[in-house]
Structure 1
Amino acid sequence: MAFIQSFGATETVTGSCHFLQLNNGPNILVDCGYFQGKNEHLTADPFAFNPKDVDIVLLTHAHLDHIGRLPKLVKEGFNGKVVALRSTMDLAEVILFDSAKIAEEDYKSALKKARRSGNEKHVALPIYSTDDAQAVFDLIIQYASYNKPIQLTPTVEVTFRNAGHILGSATIQLTFTEQGATKTVVFSGDLGGRSDMIMPAPAFIKKADALYIESTYGDRDHRPLQETIDECKQLIIDTLTNQGNVLIPSFAIERTQEILLLLKQMYYDNELPACKVFLDSPMAIRATQIYNNYPLELNSNANKQLQRDGSVFEFAYLQYALKEKDSMRINEQESGCIIIAGSGMCTGGRILHHFKHRLWDKNNAVIFIGYQVQGTLGRQLVDGAESIQLYHETINVNAKIHMLNGFSAHAGQSDLLAWINEFEQLGKLYLVHGEASVQAEFKKVIRDQLHKPVHIVKYAEKIHI
């Protein structure tokens, strides 16, 4: 009898990795992601299965917590086929090479410090290298299209549905036949909400004998998107009108593109004061170009901008700072700038350079548009730090600090329930991708409101389908 074991994203949000074993094959892995935050140390652990036993990897989308261990999987013996949307693999190339590069640089830095103290034997090797990342793209890659079934074997079929989360995000619908019985298991992947600036609403699915569903925000709803957009607009207008600069620490994928689309709409609606908008992140620039290549996977709002002038995101005020010297030149602009730079939580990247030059000025504003994890510089600022240590200097925080919570690529509780409710035939639900306390609340809500059987998946637990 077929069974699934989850080796990540169990009672935690990251590390997505679900292994489906069929009696007659193939062995299918859905996602192979990085553990992040408090569980980051688990990323380097050996796999709890033999990578050589995996025949096919299916990818729901390109975020690091869904693809980040793919190079490690290949390094340790996987030599099968990867199936994903072409847009997912384009973004995956950017993310995996960036991840490998950071790992290599961190290793070299740690090794240099350890050699000075004679402790180089205790420095762990990077989880994988850029060569390992390249090996992923040397595999056989089969490109999927939304809503077009792919016959993996004579008895196994997979269909990718738009999950509305980020570019290329998919809900994976697997149908297989064993001993004369046909069964369907659905992996939601990360689901977007019903209203989004760039992505369409998630596609509905009608049948599943087993539904593996994310539960990241299963305990609450987000602030209405339009309220957040209105507040963001006003903060930008007020700061620029007062001869200040707006600093936006941003994540390279999805959040950056949302902000660019918002600014472009403001420009064409004559709401944006004359200014210079700098996208100061090589990774975000590459991701934005990839988004622009796949307009058919975006919503009507994004396509309206494309039809207006031939680009989803570009407009007269926008400038790309690809090279480091381009980033440095931004310092010459005393006021009237909007600077979008990584990293989103201010743990590194070019945003730190801009903080050094502008955080002390009371006319400036910092707008955070994503959750700031405890222990990050971003969290310090959101929590009201009066000064920070940066590049061996004390920088006073006089700029206004704003946290906007309504920009989220994840569905909230109401959107998750509405999506589940569209199933015409639904067996049991299995909760993954959520903190334990959130899952407990979501489980209760599903039982009380939808009256469906639901189970919280444990690590490596065998669930027979």
Structure 2
Amino acid sequence: MKIKLKFLGGAGNVTGSSYLLEASGKRLLVDCGLYQEWQLKGRNWQFPVPPDSIDAVLLSHAHLDHSGRIPKLVKEGFNGTIYCTDVTVKLAEIMLEDAGHIQEEDAFTKQRRHEKEGRKGPHPEIPLYTAEDAIKCIPLFEPVKYGESFEIGNGIKATFYDAGHVLGSAMIKISIGQNGDERSIIFSGDIGRWNAPILRDPTIFDKADYILVESTYGNRLHENMNDIKDELDEVILSTIKAGGNIVVPAFALERAQELLFYLRELRNEKRIPMLVVFMDSPMAINITEVFEDNSNYFDKETMALVRKGLSPFEFLGLKMSRTNEESKAINSIKGTVMIIAGSGMCTGGRIKHHLVTNISRTESTILFVGYQASGTLGRQILDGAESVRIFGQYLPVRARIAHIDGFSAHADKDDLL
């Protein structure tokens, strides 16, 4: 039996996850992620294999570093099936369309800036794909259920199992049968953490021939999850005392909802005073609604809340900002507020406007609750840059910079072993 496996991304770096599996005359992609490190973005423009030669894509979850090049793949000729869980279909539709809008906006902004400065950037000044391209790829998605095997063809079967990383995330087991012989490969995708809130723990397997495991944090241990509320409590209380705002760059999928979950607990335990919290991200708002509509993916503790008619993501003082007008109005509010906005690495979106307003204020806090890839604005701030460039202007960094490591949705060394 001949099985050929090639790492197309996510090896030697964090983003751009993608594997090419060739067996029994079939060519399969497991994930098709976007490169998000600045120095690797050039790789997004070309695929190492012709997209029209790929028979199917198996998608582990909706995060862009695993799904973000699917519209580009379809645009360049892929016309096969994209398999993923039902809720991943819903999340991918939201996230990929938003990514297309951002690609369009970034291309337009760069083109204007480069024309003004009389230069060209290292990458094409056109969108990698548009929002329309993203919408066109959705009919190719086919939902599958956890634990139910399905045929891909030529003796190849696949089964998705709960990965506990984000809503609908999966570890994918591919079984290849030939002439009475069978081999199995498990692609872990991103693995969640044991005893994390909201979602069930990752699935444990007892048998496989080959296992490909993510190791984003395979060489370290996370802070104790029990410390998250203590650290969040400290940031909130100290910033209220200083009279500034708490600006939180947060990923719209999972991190934003997890943050709301902990804020709700802090309020219910009366550890923090009444605080106005703005979810200033239409995408995060839409994704939170998907969470609310798919509580069957929750762990038993969170399900118990839902059965009581309670939302794990709602509390007094939470305000959803959908429109640009609502977002701009936040700047005129007196007193301390918390602003949760994307993008999570500060590469685009409304967070950049809130950074312009707050990053030079000594009384404000910029709170990071997620991974910051090298070359991103978020990484520059987290690494202690004295000034950063936002919208073409350099701003001094005077705000307090805080980071809560325990929020990670990736398994650490002990979780993996």
Task: Give the structure-1-normalised TM-score.
Answer: 0.82
Q: Aligned-pair distance for 1:371? A: 3.0
Flag structure 1 segments of 5+ consecutive residues without an equivalent: 418-465
- How many Å separate the matches in 2 of 1:301 and 1:332? 39
Paired letter, 1:134? I
Q: Are 1:197 and 2:197 counterparts? A: yes
Q: Per-residue displacement from partner, 1:374-401 (whole Å, max 9, x unpaired)?
A: 4444344334455555557665544332
Name the structure 2 match of 1:269: 269
Name the structure 1 match of 2:314: 314
Farther off after superposition, 144-153 or 367-376: 367-376
2:102–2:348 contact (8 Å) kept in structure 1: no
1:104–1:126 contact (8 Å) kept in structure 2: yes
- How many Å separate the matches in 1 of 2:321 and 2:175? 46
Paired letter, 1:230? D
- How many Å separate the matches in 2 of 1:132 and 1:192? 30
Q: Per-residue displacement from partner, 1:162-190 (whole Å, max 9, x unpaired)?
A: 11111111000111211210121111111
Paired letter, 2:103? A
Q: Per-residue displacement from partner, 1:20-56 (whole Å, max 9, x unpaired)?
A: 2222x443221111122132211112x2222222222
Name the structure 2 match of 1:226: 226
Name the structure 1 match of 2:18: 17
- How many Å separate the matches in 2 of 1:280 and 1:342? 8
Name the structure 2 match of 1:424: none
Q: Are 1:137 and 2:124 counterparts? A: no
Larger C-alpha radius of gyration, 1 or 2?
1
Cα distance 1:355–1:113, how it changes in 2: closer, same or farther (>3 A)? closer
- How many Å separate the matches in 1 of 2:20 and 2:53? 10
Paired letter, 2:312? V
Paired letter, 1:314? E
- How many Å separate the matches in 2 of 1:396 and 1:106? 23
Paired letter, 1:368? F
2:58–2:84 contact (8 Å) kept in structure 1: yes
1:274–1:336 contact (8 Å) kept in structure 2: no
The 5-angstrom pairing of residues 247-286 of structure 1 reads: 247-286=247-286
Name the structure 2 match of 1:8: 9
Name the structure 1 match of 2:149: 149
Name the structure 2 match of 1:29: 29
Q: What is the SS of the residue equivalent to 2:90?
A: helix
Paired letter, 2:205? I
Aligned residue pair count: 414
Paired letter, 2:22? Q
Q: Percent identity?
A: 38
The 5-angstrom pairing of residues 57-456 of structure 1 reads: 57-113=57-113, 123-139=124-140, 141-153=141-153, 155-240=155-240, 243-385=243-385, 388=388, 390=390, 395=395, 397-417=397-417
- How many Å separate the matches in 2 of 1:110 and 1:289? 33
Paired letter, 2:88? T
1:305–1:313 contact (8 Å) kept in structure 2: no
1:185–1:208 contact (8 Å) kept in structure 2: yes
Q: What is the SS of the residue equivalent to 1:315?
A: coil
1:252–1:284 contact (8 Å) kept in structure 2: yes
Cα distance 1:105–1:288, how it changes in 2: closer, same or farther (>3 A)? same
Q: Per-residue displacement from partner, 1:202-251 (whole Å, max 9, x unpaired)?
A: 11112111111112112111111112332112221333355443221212
Q: What is the SS of the residue equivalent to 2:10?
A: coil
Q: Per-residue displacement from partner, 1:412-442 (whole Å, max 9, x unpaired)?
A: 111111xxxxxxxxxxxxxxxxxxxxxxxxx
Farther off after superposition, 381-390 or 188-197: 381-390
Q: What is the SS of the residue equivalent to 1:214?
A: coil
1:110–1:123 contact (8 Å) kept in structure 2: no
* Superposed CA RMSD: 2.5
- How many Å separate the matches in 2 of 1:117 and 1:78? 38
1:217–1:412 contact (8 Å) kept in structure 2: yes
- How many Å separate the matches in 2 of 1:256 and 1:313? 10
Name the structure 2 match of 1:56: 56
Paired letter, 1:219? N
Task: Give the structure-2-normalised TM-score.
Answer: 0.91
- How many Å separate the matches in 1 of 2:151 and 2:336? 55
Cα distance 1:39–1:268, how it changes in 2: closer, same or farther (>3 A)? same
- How many Å separate the matches in 2 of 1:375 and 1:289? 32
Paired letter, 1:410? H
Q: Aligned-pair distance for 1:327? A: 1.0
Paired letter, 2:259? I
Segments ≥4 residues shifted beyond 6 Å? 116-122
Q: Aligned-pair distance for 1:410? A: 0.6
- How many Å separate the matches in 2 of 1:246 and 1:203? 36
Question: Which is bigger in relative contact order (C-alpha 8 A, separation at least 6)?
Answer: 1
Cα distance 1:128–1:382, how it changes in 2: closer, same or farther (>3 A)? closer
- How many Å separate the matches in 2 of 1:255 and 1:346? 14
Q: What is the SS of the residue equivalent to 1:7?
A: strand
1:370–1:407 contact (8 Å) kept in structure 2: yes
